Amino acid sequence: MTAQTLDSATQQRVEQWLGGNYDADTKEAIQHLLDAGNFNELTDSFYRDLEFGTGGLRGVLGVGSNRMNRYTVGAATQGLCNYINRYAEAAAFPGQDISVAIAHDSRRMSPEFARLVADIFSANGIKVYLFSALRPTPELSFAIRQLGCQSGIVVTASHNPPEYNGYKVYWNDGAQVVAPHDKAIIAEVNKITSVDDIKFDGVPERIQLIDEEIDAPYIERVKSNAVNPDVIKRQADLNIVFTPIHGTGITLVPRALEALGFTNVHIVSEQATPDGNFPTVKSPNPEERAAMQLALDMALAINADLVIATDPDADRVGAGARNHHGEFELLNGNQMASLIIYYLLNAWRDAGKLTGKEFVAKTIVTTDLIDRMCERYGVNCYNTLTGFKYIAEVIRELEGKEQFIGGGEESYGYLIGDFVRDKDAVASCAMIAELTAYAKDRGQSLFDMLMAMYQENGFFYEALVSITKKGKSGAEEIQEMMAGFRANPPKEIAGSPVVRIDDYKALTRTDAQGQSSPIEAGKMGIESSNVLQFITADGTKVSARPSGTEPKIKFYVSVVEPLASKEAFDDTYAQLKAKVQRVIDELKLI
């Protein structure tokens, strides 16, 4: 029956699991699928091996080679162990005892996977620092550097649906792995072809539980980011609503706000308990208004000044404040990243700390408003490919040469200071509270600060168009769209001539006269990637980027107009939205 229903490769994997050294519960679950004739589920569970990508693992929980379970997690971890040990044997870590740090979020099976990973590392002769309970992803990044570890893992699937889990791999600088380690680790993972290759039997004496000895110094470093502590003292009763959306933010965000001196923080009780089923939301993603609705309802009820929400592993943060109409408005990732940088640039200038050797880092699809502000303040702004690991790469390359002020990306991830090397929602919540307090101290709201920033630097408005094309035909259609844009790029967008085309796949930049020059290969945070950008004379920018992990293509549209006054905000906003729609219609993006 299986031979008639399953292809040969899938059938072979099923039989390998039924006959191999897998536990009885796993074999029973597979047999149950066979007996029930659930061949669609069997195929999806076994048609391939769960891919260990450049960042680590992510997949649906369940039995099978294409699912997150103790065996797929075990194989990935064994491959990582082999790489670390061989790297160490090559004298790459001279005079260092090899160790790793491990953290996990609130998802189903996260604690169990974290312990499993710890056991495998310890069985491979590697010292393990394991957080005793769930912790935010940025604290894992901090712990690696604080403890002098060579690598680290956080068990998380970020804000994916409840049926997912995964893990991200970090290197000794506290950043997610980049070249050459990423592909070298993948090669080692792919060599693990049998469950018998995995060393499951942990060595308890090599596993050390950690918590407060990392929590306390991490909170102190978050506190040290504050640039106007006197303002916080005056505005200690700033009315803040916070929700961790059932995730790890509950462990440290309230504590960080308290450490700064904020005394009036209200936590959404329905979402305060860590729960991998995320019972109050369809998606635990602070980018979506529905995930923040309970917090917004509370904010309205208690007349709050600020709403903040963190995703399950507390590396992304969403925020909302009252607009000039008295309504709570959620700020998108471009707006909040810009506000943080605007506040920091002003604070550093006022403190006389800008020497010409400071920098900001962001991704190429994040608003150019940040570039414009940095230019005004004489601060370098480095643009990287999408992914915070590239921002971390820039920080590492410039360490000791230039000082990092802050950075971020449009997908709600920000970083202040360099003691963490990944996006940090805990530190970001603290900074967002501080800049809201700063605005209130001057008789303004956070939204007033936003409008002032636009008046000074231009009103930048961004929109994201995400198109899903499923299946083999969908993937081909996405490639055809990119090929079409390369073969016949637009000459004009929304009435403005295209003056520059950046092709990050070919690493070429073409000007209005058709002259091409190279985008430097090997430049910090830049490598060949299937991304196209079209920039017009009036500052409109359209970026096309197929997803590397999903059947999607994303178009990032950015337009800009001067903002004459706060009173002109609504009319200018309407003009910008209309212009974005024109871009979408002209390029047939929907």
Active site residues: 158
Phi, psi of 403 (to 5 degrees): -105, 130
Cα(413)–Cα(176) distance, integer angstroms: 14
295: its two tokens: 């917090």
Q: How many CA atoms lie within 13 A of 261 on its CB side?
A: 14
Cα(584)–Cα(590) distance, integer angstroms: 7
499: its two tokens: 């003056």
Provide CB contacts within 8 A for 144, sequence distance 6+.
Answer: 101, 151, 152, 170, 172, 173, 174
Cα(120)–Cα(143) distance, integer angstroms: 20
At 283 the three-state DSSP class reads: coil
Please say whether the beta carbons of 136 and 158 come within 8 A.
no
527: its two tokens: 């490598």
Please say whether the beta carbons of 409 and 362 come within 8 A.
yes
> Could you give the angle at which helices 24-35 and 8-19 cross, rounded to 10 degrees?
140
> Could you give the angle at which helices 333-350 and 369-377 cross, rounded to 10 degrees?
10
Please say whether the beta carbons of 276 and 107 come within 8 A.
yes
Cα(557)–Cα(534) distance, integer angstroms: 10
506: its two tokens: 């070919």
553: its two tokens: 């293509």
Check the CA dihedral 485-486-487-492 and report its sign: positive
